């Protein structure tokens, strides 16, 4: 179940990054055209998500990114503001 959710999350993130990159499609060159495709972003995102899930926060921070993506793990709870209220 967790693997399936991780793969779906990586797909969603890759598609989102791809949609953002397409706004700058006019700036693409033959060397950077790969950035416009979700398939370019999927593997590094999936690798980072699975790596971050199996590492401690200190090991994760000291490890280099898997390509163009870096997922950082923290042990601190994150506050999510909802309607201006944390």
Q: Are 34 and 2 in contact (CB under 8 A)?
A: no
Assess contact for 35 and 21: CB atoms under 8 A.
yes
Chain segment 24-64, per-residue pLDDT in tens: 888 888 888 877 888 888 888 888 788 777 777 778 778 77
pLDDT at 51: 76
pLDDT tens-place string over residues 69-84:
666 666 666 666 665 5
pTM of the model: 0.55
């Amino acid at each position: 179940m967790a693997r399936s959710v991780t793969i779906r999350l990586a797909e969603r993130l890759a598609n989102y990054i791809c949609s953002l990159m397409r706004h700058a499609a006019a700036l693409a060159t033959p060397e950077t055209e790969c950035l416009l495709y979700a398939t370019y972003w999927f593997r590094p995102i999936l690798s980072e998500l699975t790596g971050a899930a199996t590492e401690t926060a200190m090991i994760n921070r000291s490890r280099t990114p898997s390509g163009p993506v870096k997922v950082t793990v923290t042990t601190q709870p994150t506050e999510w503001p909802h309607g201006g209220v944390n």
